[in-house]
Amino acid sequence: MSSQRTHTPRGRRGRHGRLAVLVAGALVATAATACGSDSTPASGSDSATASGGARSLVIAGWGGSFTAANKEAFYDQFEKDTGIKVTIATPGGGFAAKVAAQRAGNNVEWDLLEAPGGDTSKLVMDGNLEQFPASLVSAITPLVADGAIRPSPSEPYYLDHGGTVNLIGCNTKLVKKCPTNPREFFDTENFPGTRGITANNPIFTSLFALAGDGVEPSKYFPVDVNRAMGALKKIKPKVSVWSTSPAQMQQAVVDGEVAIMQAPNTVLMSSLKQVPDLKLFWEGGLLFDEGWCVPKGAKNKEAAFEFVKWYAEHRENQAKFTEKLYSGTAGRDMEKYLSPEVVENLPINKTGITLVDGIAGAKQQQELGNALREILVG
C-alpha cells in the first residue's frame, strides 16, 4: 500500500512583517540562500570529504517532526548498516528553486531530497533530477506498490514517500466553533480565531485560497491568480503565522499562537501529543505527488541510489515511520505491517481530499510565487 498512488481524488502581535519577509525569501530562493541551510550529521561527526575517507550522503529535508521521523526510522539505521555517513540539511522548503540555484552555481550540495512536496513535479519538469538506474528500478519493483516509482517505471525520477496532506486543524480550547472546510476557514466573521497558513509552497497556498473562495477542485487549474491572491489579501489581517517550514507551524500550534491552522497532517498529528484539544478536518485537503529523489549533479548520487534501494528493502522501518506520523510510504502490502488504527488514519483513507495535478501546478509555480510574495510583503 503506497502513500498515495492508490488514492482517488474524491503569531503574536507585531510579527506579520517579519513573517512575510521570511516567506518571501523562501519563495524566491537565490544561490545564496541555497547554500545557507542548516546541516547536521545524523549522528555525530561531519560528512567525509570528497577526496577520501568514508562515503557520505547529504539529505535535504523539511526539518521538524517529518525529518525527525525519517531520521529515527531510516537515516540512523542506514548509516549503521552501510557505513555511509548521513548528514541532514534542513532548508524547510523551496527545494526546486534551491536545487536550480545550486546547479546554476555548479555546486550541488545535496544528494537526496526528502519528499519535496509540491516541488517534486517542478524538479522533474525542469530537468533537475537524476533518473533512477535501470538496475535500481529492477531491484525495487517487487518491493514497492504498483505506481510507487514516479512518474512511471519508464521515467523513474522519484520513489513515493510521505504523501502528506495540507488540511485544517483547530484548537477547540481556544475557539468555540471550528471551520471544517476551506470556505469556513476563510469566513473569519462566523468562525473567529487566530489563523495560521502554510506558505512554503505557492501552489498549496493558492489552491487553498481558491477552495476558500468557493472554487471546486475540478476548476483549480489553470489557477486564477487574481482570485487566489484576492482571497489571501482579504484574510491576511487575521493570519498570525505564514509558516515557512513545518517546524515553524508546529511550534505555533503547540504554543497556542494560532487557534485555527492550515498545515500538513504530519505537523498536526505530531502536535496532537502536546495539544490534545486539537481537532483535524480533512475536507478540502490537498495531496501532492512526492517522494525520494536525487538532484541532477549530486556528488554522491550512488550513495543516494543505495539509500533508495535500502529503503525499499526495509518495510518494517517504513511501518515505524508511518506509525509515528500517520504518513504513507512506498512499500508493497504495507497494511500487513500496520495496525488497523494506523491504516484507517492514513490520508489515502480519508474522504474529501484532492490529489493535486503536480505538472499543472509546476507550470504556474513561479508566477504564483511572485504573486504570493507581493501579497505577503505588501
CA distance 118 to 257: 26
What domains sit in the chain, N to C, each tagged with a CATH number? 29-163+289-355 (3.40.190.10), 165-288+363-369 (3.40.190.10)
Which of 356-360's residues contact partners 24+ apart within 8 Å by CB, and which partners? Answer: 356/118, 356/203, 356/207, 356/220, 356/286, 356/287, 356/288, 356/289, 357/220, 357/221, 358/118, 358/120, 358/121, 358/122, 358/288, 358/289, 359/121, 359/125, 360/220, 360/221, 360/222
**Per residue in 147-157, is it b (16+ CB within 10 Å) or e — as a string?**
ebbbbebeebb
Bridge partners of 281?
Answer: 168
Using DSSP, state whether 158 is helix, strand or coil.
Answer: strand
CA distance 44 to 62: 20
Q: Is 183 exposed, middle or buried (0-12, 13-18, 19+ CB in 10 A)?
A: middle
Whether 330 and 145 have beta carbons less than 8 Å apart is answered as yes
Is the four-CA dihedral 158, 345, 343, 77 of positive or negative sign? positive
CA distance 160 to 287: 12
Whether 322 and 315 have beta carbons less than 8 Å apart is answered as no
Query: Beta 39-41 vs 195-198: how paired, if at all?
Result: unpaired
**CA 109 from centre of chain:** 20
CA distance 26 to 11: 18
Cell of 218: 475540478
Task: Check residue 2 and give its pLDDT.
Answer: 52
Using DSSP, state whether 41 is helix, strand or coil.
Answer: strand
Bridge partners of 209?
Answer: none
SS3 content of the chain, % helix, strand, coil (to 5): 45, 20, 40
DSSP output for 106-140: T----SEES--TTHHHHHHHTT-BPPPPHHHHHHH
Q: Model confidence over 269-281: pLDDT tens digits?
A: 889 989 999 999 9
Task: Check residue 201 and give its pLDDT.
Answer: 87
CA distance 176 to 129: 47
CA distance 147 to 157: 12
Would you give per-residue pLDDT tens digits along the chain (378 residues)?
Answer: 455 444 333 333 333 333 443 344 444 443 333 333 444 444 433 344 444 578 999 999 988 889 999 999 999 999 999 999 999 999 988 899 999 999 999 999 999 999 888 899 999 999 999 999 999 999 999 999 999 999 999 999 999 998 889 999 999 999 999 999 999 999 999 999 999 999 988 999 999 999 999 999 999 999 999 999 999 999 999 999 999 888 899 999 999 999 999 999 989 988 998 999 999 999 999 998 889 999 999 999 999 999 999 999 999 999 999 999 889 999 999 999 999 989 988 888 889 999 999 999 999 999 999 999 999 987
CA distance 31 to 270: 32
Q: Model confidence over 9-30: pLDDT tens digits?
A: 333 333 333 344 334 444 444 3
Q: Is 190 exposed, middle or buried (0-12, 13-18, 19+ CB in 10 A)?
A: exposed
Cell of 178: 471550528
Q: How many residues does the chain have?
A: 378
